[in-house]
Amino acid sequence: KESNVRVNLAERSYDIAIGSGNRQQLAEFLRERTQREHAVIITDSNVDQLYADALGDVLTADGWEVQVLIVEPGEPSKSIETCEDLWETMLNEGADRHSIVVAVGGGVVGDLAGFVAATFTRGLEFFQVPTTLLSQVDSSVGGKTGVNLPGAKNMVGCFWQPLGVLIDVEVLTTLPDREYRAGLAEVVKYGVILDEPFFAYLEDNAEAINAKDPAVLTEIIRRSCELKAKVVEADELEAVDMASKFEGGKLSRAILNYGHTFAHAFEAITGYESMLHGEAVAVGMRCAARLAEKQGRVDAEFVQRQDLLLAALGLSVSPPEADPEDILHLMSRDKKSDSGAIRFILPTKMGHVELVSDFQSEDVIASLSF
Ligand code: NAD
Ligand code: ZN
C-alpha cells in the first residue's frame, strides 16, 4: 500500500512516495518527473551492496545511462574533499548539466549528494531514495544540503529541493537496531511538538513499531513527513523568527529543534562518538520536558508520558556523565543560539511547544540529572 505526501513550496512542489517494496518502481517514479536519461547514483558502500547497485540495474534495464558513485559510510564523508572527488569523477565519466543525481542512502549521502547536485554545473535535478529511518522522516524533507567543516557540522551548504523522494520501508529491515531507534526519536518529537493524536498512535502501536510492521511504518513515516512538510512550507528558508509562532504567526522551523539544544551539547561533550544523534535527541527531549516542568509549563504526568513512550521504543537514554556547567557552556555556543543567548523549545502540553529564553541556570542544571 502506497502513501503520498505532497510538499508545496514557493518555487515548486514535489511528492514523497512511501510504500513497501516500492523501490522497484524507481524507473517509473523518475520517468514521471524528468525527461533526462543519464543518472548519477550517489551512495555509500554499505547501501551500495544492499540496494544501490541493484537500483542501478533497475534504471539500466529501463534505458538509463547510469553511473554509481560510492563513498565511505559515515559522517567524515560529508566533506568538501568528498565533493571534489565526486565532481571530478562525474566530469570524467561524462555527466553534464542534463544528468540527474539520485541519492540512495542515509542522511550523510542525502546531504552530500544534494550539495553535489546543487553545485555541479550550477545545479542538477535531484532525487532522493532515503534508506535510514532518520533520513526518511527528517533529512530528506526540507531541502537542506551541505557538508561539515572540521569542528563545525553543516557549516557549508545550500537549500536544494528534490524533484521527488521515494521511500521504501522494506529497506529498514537491514538497518542496525540502534540506527532504527535513533530515527524513532525524531518521530516521537513530531508528536510532542505538533500532534497529540499522533503521539497517542505511537503509544498504541509501540509493539508494531518495534517489530517494523510495514503498514505501521508506512503510517508513521507518512505522518512524520507530513508534519515536517507543514513546517517547511511555512518557513522554507528558516527565515521566520522563532518568536513569531508564539504571536499567532507562522510556524517556524525552530520548533523542530525541540530537544536539540540539549542534544547538540551532549553530542559535543561525548565527541560525536558514543551517542547517535537520535539518542542525544531522545535524552534532550527528556531534559527539556523536565525543564518545562520546573518552570510550571507542564506537569509530572507529561514528563512521565514522554519517558514511557521513549522507553517503549528502546530510548530510555540518560544524560552523559559530565559537569553540568560544561554542558550549559556548550549550549550557549550552539550555532542555533544567536549571540550566546540560549533558547529552548519547551512543551506547554502534548502537541504544543513554545520558545523560551528566560530561565534559571539552576533549573537547567537540575533538569540534567535523573
Ligand atoms: P548515515 O547516513 O550515516 O547512515 C547510518 C549508517 O547506516 C551508515 O553506516 C549507512 O551505511 C547505514 N545504512 C543506511 N541505510 C541502511 C540500510 N537500509 N540498511 C543497512 N544499513 C544502512 O546516518 P543518518 O542517521 O541517516 O544521517 C545522519 C546525517 O543526516 C547527519 O550528517 C546529519 O547532519 C544529517 N541530517 C540532515 C538533515 C537535513 O535536514 N538535511 C536533518 C537531519 C540530519
Ligand atoms: Zn535532529
Q: Using one digit for the tens of pLDDT, what is the confidence trace for 301-359?
A: 999 999 999 999 999 989 999 999 999 999 987 755 556 688 999 999 999 999 998 99
CA triplet 61, 65, 68: central angle to 5 degrees? 95
CA of 113 to the centre of ligand 1 (A): 12
Any idea what the CATH number is for the domain that residue 143 is in? 3.40.50.1970
| Residue 76 lies inside a defined structural domain of this protein | yes
- ipTM of this model? 0.99
In a shared domain, residues 75 and 214 = no
What is residue 193's predicted lDDT score, i.e. its pLDDT?
A: 97
In a shared domain, residues 189 and 144 = no
Identify which ligand lies nearest to the alpha carbon of 176.
1
* Per-residue pLDDT tens digits for 47-78: 999 999 999 999 999 999 999 999 999 999 99
- Domain of residue 294, residue span: 184-367
What is residue 338's predicted lDDT score, i.e. its pLDDT?
A: 58
Quote the CA–CA distance of 3 and 264 in Å, as a whole number.
Answer: 33
174 lines ligand 1 (CB under 6 A): yes
In a shared domain, residues 270 and 336 = yes
What is residue 361's predicted lDDT score, i.e. its pLDDT?
A: 93
| Residue 297 lies inside a defined structural domain of this protein | yes
In a shared domain, residues 238 and 213 = yes
Domain count, the chain: 2
In a shared domain, residues 286 and 262 = yes
Report CA-CA distances (Å) from 212 to 1, 172, 174, 205, 216: 15, 8, 11, 10, 8
Known binding residue 187? Answer is: no
In a shared domain, residues 7 and 134 = yes
Would you state the torsion angle of the CA atoms of residues 170, 175, 181, 184, taken in this order, to the nearest 10 degrees? -40
What pTM was computed for the model?
Answer: 0.96
- Residue 236: is its pLDDT beyond 90? no
Q: Once rounded to an integer, what is the mean pLDDT over residues 166-183?
A: 98
What is residue 247's predicted lDDT score, i.e. its pLDDT?
A: 47
Active site residue 38: no
- Residue 129: is its pLDDT beyond 80? yes
Any idea what the CATH number is for the domain that residue 285 is in? 1.20.1090.10
Per the residue annotation, which of 23, 78, 144, 305 is the catalytic one? 144
| Residue 23 lies inside a defined structural domain of this protein | yes
Known binding residue 284? Answer is: no
Residue appearing with cell numbers 533538569 = 367
Per the residue annotation, which of 23, 222, 228, 343 is the catalytic one? 228
CA of 267 to the centre of ligand 2 (A): 11
| Residue 179 lies inside a defined structural domain of this protein | no
What is residue 271's predicted lDDT score, i.e. its pLDDT?
A: 85
- Please, what is the average pLDDT of the chain? 94
| Residue 320 lies inside a defined structural domain of this protein | yes
135 lines ligand 1 (CB under 6 A): yes
CB count within 10 Å of CB 269 equals 20
Active site residue 260: yes
Looking at the CA of residue 144, tell me the nearest atom of ligand 1: 41
In a shared domain, residues 208 and 356 = yes
- Which of 174, 200, 232 terminates a domain? The answer is 174
| Residue 225 lies inside a defined structural domain of this protein | yes
In a shared domain, residues 188 and 170 = no
- Which of 132, 154, 174 terminates a domain? The answer is 174
Quote the CA–CA distance of 104 and 45 in Å, as a whole number.
Answer: 11
In a shared domain, residues 276 and 194 = yes
Active site residue 336: no
What cell does 263 get?
542534544
Report whether 298 contacts 344 (CB < 8 A): no
What is residue 248's predicted lDDT score, i.e. its pLDDT?
A: 55
In a shared domain, residues 269 and 241 = yes
In a shared domain, residues 212 and 343 = yes
In a shared domain, residues 198 and 292 = yes
| Residue 282 lies inside a defined structural domain of this protein | yes
140 lines ligand 1 (CB under 6 A): no
* Per-residue pLDDT tens digits for 195-210: 999 999 999 999 999 9
Q: Once rounded to an integer, what is the mean pLDDT over residues 226-234?
A: 94
- Which of 129, 153, 174 terminates a domain? The answer is 174
72 lines ligand 1 (CB under 6 A): no
Quote the CA–CA distance of 366 and 108 in Å, as a whole number.
Answer: 34
| Residue 117 lies inside a defined structural domain of this protein | yes
